[in-house]
Amino acid sequence: MNKYKVCVYAICKNEEQFVKRWFNSMKEADDIYVLDTGSTDKTVKMLKKMGVKVKTKKINPWRFDVARNKSLELVPNDCDICVCTDLDEVFIEGWRKKLEDIWDKDTTRLAYNYNWLLDENNTPKVNFYIEKIHNRNNYTWTHPVHEVLTYVGDNIEIKKYTNEITLNHYPDQTKSRSSYLPLLELSVKEKPNDDRNVHYLGREYMYYGKWNEAIDTLIKHLKLPTATWIDERCASMRFIARCYQNLERFDEARMWLDKAIKEAPHLRDPLMEKALLEYKQNNFSEVKKYCLEALKIKEHPKTYINEIFSWDYTVYDLLSLSYFYENNYEEALKYVDIAINMNTYEDQNERLLNNKRIMQENLTKKNKPL
């Protein structure tokens, strides 16, 4: 006997490739509701055939928060727990029972394990908490893009955290994100002092190669009195440094990376960015310095802000090259072996193995008697 009525809700458009997998993951819920925003493929037909309650509505002008709120309106008021997902996401089986075991009558929201990026072996590459499970009547979605589930209840929000529930993300890499930039510009125009959205807008300018706009926007983020999350401040500084690198203003890039390291000494990311910058400048003693500092940090924070290259094989790859150019082939081989064992990218296999061969050849020559 279930303790609570659990409903899944989602928005979608032209996602027939995901429908069956998504439904099989979500069917532990009592009901599933989907707002289709204008599919021209078989998405709606497939969902209805599986018993999903579907409504079609075009959102014009498009905003993610409006679409999310319209989908939430489909969920009846007697629902105890609402679960918002996207069709490219999959719960690990058994999530419903774990949810009911964790939830109690005072809970308003649950944060759970989210694997935003997995490799081809289903190993998480980017992992953090996501907070899209909530009670029915105390929340609304805000912001045109990078929408946020915002608490609007009269009482104190009661949030719980769990690692027992995991949602995996398998995105369609062919989907365009061209709408994100204008929506972020709109979001910042609507709320110019929202530090989160200003940071996202600066990052988006960086993605588009708008280096000067990115720098100006990210500096604005850092000046906002509400921009107090150290990890995000550090990221803004790192992104400013990336922009300066692309402008070939390397001294300014170093200055901002030094600021980032000072801002968040608990994170590997600014140290690894500094190592990568020095590698591009062939400053191998500096590469080694920052890589060794990065390796002193053992805790991998559970946040979206971390970079993949801070925790994959990259640090060992850079160390092996640094030692190689110091003619310390023994250390170079030690670290390249670690890099090879950690590497999960097929396009890097040949390069790493070739590096090892060259290092081994140089060690043999070095040890060869005269």
- Per-residue pLDDT of 23-50, as tens digits, reads 999 999 999 999 999 999 999 999 999 9
Runs of H (alpha helix) within 136-229 = 180-190, 195-207, 211-223
Paired with 167 in beta bridges are 91, 114
Complete edge-to-edge strand list for the sheet that includes strand 109-118: 53-56, 31-36, 6-12, 81-84, 124-134, 109-118, 159-169, 89-91
- Measured CA to CA in angstroms, residue 18 lies from 42, 58, 81, 127, 330 at distances of 11, 20, 24, 21, 49
pLDDT at residue number 173: 81
Q: What b/e readout covers 124-140, taking b as 16+ CB neighbours within 10 angstroms? A: bebbbebbbbbbbebbe
Say how many residues make up the chain. Answer: 370
Contact between residue 198 and residue 220 where contact means Cβ atoms under 8 Å apart: yes
pLDDT at residue number 303: 87
DSSP codes joined into one string, 282-333: T-HHHHHHHHHHHHT-----SSTTS-GGGTSTHHHHHHHHHHHHTT-HHHHH
Residues 353 and 291: their CA atoms lie apart, in Å, by: 21
DSSP codes joined into one string, 238-256: HHHHHHHHHTT-HHHHHHH
pLDDT at residue number 304: 87
Residues 323 and 355: their CA atoms lie apart, in Å, by: 12
Share of the chain above pLDDT 70, in %: 99
pLDDT at residue number 176: 76
Who contacts 169 (Cβ-Cβ below 8 Å, separation ≥6)? 86, 88, 89, 114, 115, 116, 117, 118
pLDDT at residue number 370: 55
- Per-residue pLDDT of 308-354, as tens digits, reads 999 999 999 999 999 999 999 999 999 999 999 998 888 888 999 99
Contact between residue 180 and residue 204 where contact means Cβ atoms under 8 Å apart: yes
Cis ω on the peptide bond leading into residue 301 (within 30° of 0)? no
- The three-point CA angle 46-50-51 to 5° equals 120
Is pLDDT of 227 > 60?
yes
pLDDT at residue number 338: 96
pLDDT at residue number 365: 87
Residues 130 and 84: their CA atoms lie apart, in Å, by: 11
**Ordered structural domains, the chain, with CATH:** 6-169 (3.90.550.10), 180-366 (1.25.40.10)
Residues 108 and 99: their CA atoms lie apart, in Å, by: 13
Calculate the average pLDDT of the chain. 95
- Measured CA to CA in angstroms, residue 227 lies from 218, 242, 257, 306 at distances of 11, 20, 18, 18
- Measured CA to CA in angstroms, residue 297 lies from 210, 264, 311 at distances of 33, 12, 10
Residues 109 and 298: their CA atoms lie apart, in Å, by: 30
Q: How many other CB atoms are there within 10 angstroms of residue 270's CB atom?
A: 28
